Copies of this chain bind each other. A is one copy, B any other.
Amino acid sequence: MEQAGLVSRSRQDVRGRLQQAALELYRERGYDRTTTAEIAAGAGVTERTFFRHFADKREILFDEDPALRPALTTAIAEAPNALGPMQVLRLAFASLEQMLTDNRPFTEPRLAIIAGTPALLERAEAKTAGLTALLADALRQRGVQEELATLAARAGMAAFSHAGKSWREDPSQGLGVHLERAFRTLHGLSAS
């Protein structure tokens, strides 16, 4: 039956359909003029179901790769002992190249929407802060003192943002190259 077909298909990948519907609606009408009920309807489910899959209306645009945090943590933990905190971070960032490349078609369309919506920018900052805290924690477990780890994590994240942007503008070079340049630039800045 068509009915049965629809129902069974509508049961699959509800989460993904919600994300897709949200993305389209946010693009058409903008974030503010889109209601969670409309997103749910677009995915063929109830508003209540929306909130079973995502904590709030913003979170649906920030579904990070579940492998991201483990990857960073282990990369930092397994870095050579001789390296200083910033080198450790640089290596950890470089190890993300494949993952970031794979996820690019997923993350890219979201960036434009986020950039134009204050409420989403705020969430983006919070996400970055959460990752920065993760970096600091991983450094601490290597023996780096707490405050120093926080400082290194924040500075390292700044360098990563810088490298990420130039990487997007010039993908011909690998992320590692851009990272090396970014960290060198940061060093040069704090030199004088």
- Contact residues in B for A166 (Cβ distance below 8 Å): 147
Given A122-B122, A189-B86: A158 and B165 interface contact (C-beta under 8 Å): no
Counted per complex, copies of this chain come to 2
Within the complex, which residue of B83, B123, B162, B190 is in contact with A122, where a contact is CB–CB below 8 Å? B123
Q: B192, A84: Cβ atoms under 8 Å? A: yes
Interface flag for A57 (CB, 8 Å): no
Majority-rule SS of A interface residues: helix
Chain A contact residues (Cβ within 8 angstroms of B): what range? 35 or more
Q: B185, A187: Cβ atoms under 8 Å? A: no
Within A123-168, which residues are at the interface with B (CB < 8 Å)?
123, 125-126, 128-129, 147-148, 150-152, 154-155, 157-159, 161-162, 165-166
Q: B182, A186: Cβ atoms under 8 Å? A: no
Q: B187, A191: Cβ atoms under 8 Å? A: yes
Which of A87, A122, A183 has the most chain B CB within a 10 Å cutoff? Answer: A122
Interface flag for A100 (CB, 8 Å): no
Interface flag for A121 (CB, 8 Å): yes
Given A147-B166, A162-B150: A190 and B125 interface contact (C-beta under 8 Å): no
- Contact residues in B for A189 (Cβ distance below 8 Å): 84-86, 148, 151-152, 155
Chain A positions within 8 Å of B, measured between CB atoms, are 83-87, 121-123, 125-126, 128-129, 147-148, 150-152, 154-155, 157-159, 161-162, 165-166, 182-183, 185-187, 189-192
